[in-house]
Amino acid sequence: MNRNAFLPGVTGIALLLLVAVPVAFVVLQAVFPHLDTGSYSAPFSTFTRVFGEPSLQALFATTLKVGLGVALCSALIGVPLGALRGLFALPGAVLWDVVFLIPFLIPPYIAALSWMLALQTNGYVQQLLPWLHLNDFLFSLPGMVAVMTLNVFPVVYFAVSRSMAASGSRLADVARIHGAGPWRAFIRITLPMALPAIASSLLLAFTLSIEEYGVPGALGSRSGILMLTTGIEQRLADWPIDMPGAAVLSLLLVAIALCAYSVQRAVLAGKNVESMTGKPADVTQKSLAGWTLPVMALFTVVALIAVALPNVSTLVTAFSGTLSGGLTLSNFTLRHFGNLFAAHSDALGALSTSLSLALGTALIAGATGFLASWLVVARKIRGAALIDGLSLFPAALPGIVVGVGLILAWNRSFWPVTPYNTWGILLLSYCCLLLPYPVRYVSAALKQIGGNLDAAARVHGATAAQALRMILLPLVFPSLLASMMMVFAVASRELVTSLLLSPAGVQTVSVYVWRQFEQGSVGDGMAMASIAVLLSLTLMLIAFRLQQRQTS
């Protein structure tokens, strides 16, 4: 077998199984409305029906407003914080990374419920500050954008901080020596080098927000604000089930994401900046000097709003006997945590299943994303555009549609072996949904490195695999590890496909929490969410420690 074709072949097979197969069946379902019966009659008739519905325009407009609003707000928060973290010696830098990773450890619908408990009329905030009325803001379009932003902005923060830390400040210092002021050096040198990471992270923030269901389902349902995702859910939940209509709306989401991707490519055209020296950049971080206290105050305010407030709301609920009891000492109880460890409880099994699936997803998605990014950015092989496009598709697909695609694909009699109705189908769904994280993070890192080192290794007799393993992997490993931590955090709390695909006897944390809410046991659900976040944080600290040793 040709050794040069082995790695591209493995990557192609992985992308085919993880992305192409479920997406292809979603397309087939949209084109052929009677596919589930084995009939290919009336092709494209669903498109005409759905596009003729008067509600589609409102769904489309609201989705765009939310996506653009979240991307803009994430940039306003994530870019300044990321630049400060990457370029300056920030006190407690690793701790801040852990703090800003916490929003990813909380399911969006849990975060939305926590904000509801905190900000609604007679909520926790109003009990402490009676003059503050935020109920109307929370249940509005700006409120939805704010809640989504506080969950998504770490994508921008981590991308910008890692990118600027990798590029260093050496070139900006050269510009300062030649007469440029600090802001001019930042805008003309440092910022352009981080532009690929910024654009990629904003694209990811946009696509994450337009495909989110938990927050619109929790907040939008009370205020009458509907997005494409909630429209899809209605078609799958209301009888009669409209699977073809849901598939058509899913393809519309894909089209929106592809348009955003095209805009990103146009913005970056001819503007990518990379070091041509072939030498590692100076990563020595500068002192904040007199700006230490203001910068620490900024980080603290963001952490209090984005992390502390919703998590305190979660913990208060977990330790409260009843919601109506309010913030009183007499309402304090450990009963909800005791219920998790009771003999008849399935909580521990659900937690073990979620952590195992999250670890497997991080390894598989990380390896596949790294290879795909290498083939597209470094090797520029034939078909690179197709590989890059496949890596974008999952970010544009709602989890519920990926689940439907996997059911349509693998619940077929002609497969000799199928993951359907096993834990393997959950692993496939998580890997499909979360593949864009490592692809975008590693791609941004590879673009900064350039192709000189890989070419030099090949000239001196190294094979492609040797150059990849011995040169490129160590250089991009911090970005790869950061993306895998993101994948782990999101996979450990993924809800929609877990509800749709979990086989009998297999229960994840999100499914357990969801069922507690359905049964009215909000305290038990919040207690489980608190334990899951604590365990995930412990694993994140270990990962950060490993990353520190790798980069030291």
- HEC states along 276-298? CCCCCCCCCCECCHHHHHHHHHH
**pLDDT, mean of residues 316-326:** 82
**pLDDT, mean of residues 312-320:** 88
Residue 523 near residue 73, CB atoms below 8 Å = no
Q: CA nearest 87: which of 156, 161, 159?
A: 161
Query: Which range, 47-61, 238-252, 345-359, 378-392, has the best average confidence (pLDDT)?
Result: 47-61
The burial of 427, by beta-carbon neighbours within 10 Å (0-12 exposed, 13-18 middle, 19 or more buried), is given as buried
Average pLDDT, the chain: 80
H helix or E strand, kind and range, residue 326: none
- What integer pLDDT is reported at residue 1 of this predicted model? 46
In sequence order, the 6+-apart residues with CB closer than 8 A to the CB of 133 are 121, 126
- What integer pLDDT is reported at residue 143 of this predicted model? 92
Which one is predicted more confidently, 489 or 308?
308
**Is residue 299 scored above 90 in pLDDT?**
yes
**Tokens representing 539?**
């694993």
Which one is predicted more confidently, 268 or 3?
268
Which one is predicted more confidently, 6 or 134?
134
**Tokens representing 205?**
């923030």
- What integer pLDDT is reported at residue 280 of this predicted model? 47
What are the backbone dihedrals phi and psi of residue 286, each rounded to the nearest 5 degrees, phi first?
-85, 160
Q: CA nearest 138: which of 107, 111, 102?
A: 111
pLDDT tens sequence across 346-367: 888 888 888 889 999 999 999 9
**pLDDT, mean of residues 317-330:** 81
- What integer pLDDT is reported at residue 73 of this predicted model? 95
- What integer pLDDT is reported at residue 547 of this predicted model? 53
The burial of 182, by beta-carbon neighbours within 10 Å (0-12 exposed, 13-18 middle, 19 or more buried), is given as exposed
User: C-alpha angle 447/549/375, rounded to 5°?
Assistant: 25
Q: CA nearest 441: which of 203, 136, 85?
A: 203
Query: Which range, 25-34, 167-176, 182-191, 504-513, has the best average confidence (pLDDT)?
Result: 25-34
Question: Residue 268's pLDDT band (boundaries 50, 70, 90)?
Answer: low
**Is residue 545 scored above 60 in pLDDT?**
yes
- What integer pLDDT is reported at residue 127 of this predicted model? 86
**Is residue 377 scored above 60 in pLDDT?**
yes
Amino acid at 47: F
Amino acid at 251: L
In sequence order, the 6+-apart residues with CB closer than 8 A to the CB of 430 are 357, 358, 361, 365, 491, 494, 497
**Tokens representing 119?**
């900000």
Amino acid at 130: P
Q: CA nearest 191: which of 329, 348, 83, 63?
A: 83
**Which of 1-5, 203-207, 248-252 is least confident?**
1-5
**Is residue 300 scored above 70 in pLDDT?**
yes
**pLDDT, mean of residues 155-176:** 72
List of long-range contacts for 276-282, beta carbons under 8 Å, 24+ apart: 276/450, 276/452, 277/452, 278/450, 278/452, 278/453, 278/456, 280/475, 281/166, 281/167, 281/168, 281/170, 281/171, 282/168, 282/169, 282/170
**Is residue 536 scored above 50 in pLDDT?**
yes
Dist. CA 500–CA 510, nearest whole Å? 12
- What integer pLDDT is reported at residue 167 of this predicted model? 65
Q: CA nearest 171: which of 188, 187, 189, 183?
A: 189
- What integer pLDDT is reported at residue 147 of this predicted model? 93
In three-state secondary structure terms, 320 is: strand
Peptide bond into 192 cis (omega under 30): no
Instruction: Classify residue 90 as left (phi > 0), alpha (psi -120 to 50) or beta.
Output: beta
In three-state secondary structure terms, 461 is: coil
What's the length of the chain?
A: 552
Amino acid at 503: P
**Tokens representing 5?**
């074709």
Dist. CA 421–CA 412, nearest whole Å? 12
- What integer pLDDT is reported at residue 394 of this predicted model? 79
CB atoms within 10 A of CB 233: 21
What are the backbone dihedrals phi and psi of residue 100, each rounded to the nearest 5 degrees, phi first?
-80, -5
**Which of 50-54, 317-321, 399-403, 415-419 is least confident?**
399-403
- What integer pLDDT is reported at residue 453 of this predicted model? 67
Residue 112 near residue 188, CB atoms below 8 Å = no
CB atoms within 10 A of CB 465: 12
- What integer pLDDT is reported at residue 549 of this predicted model? 57
**Is residue 521 scored above 60 in pLDDT?**
yes
Amino acid at 540: M
Dist. CA 260–CA 266, nearest whole Å? 10
pLDDT tens sequence across 491-511: 887 777 887 788 877 888 888
- What integer pLDDT is reported at residue 249 of this predicted model? 87
- What integer pLDDT is reported at residue 278 of this predicted model? 46
Single pTM value for the model: 0.77
**pLDDT, mean of residues 128-152:** 90
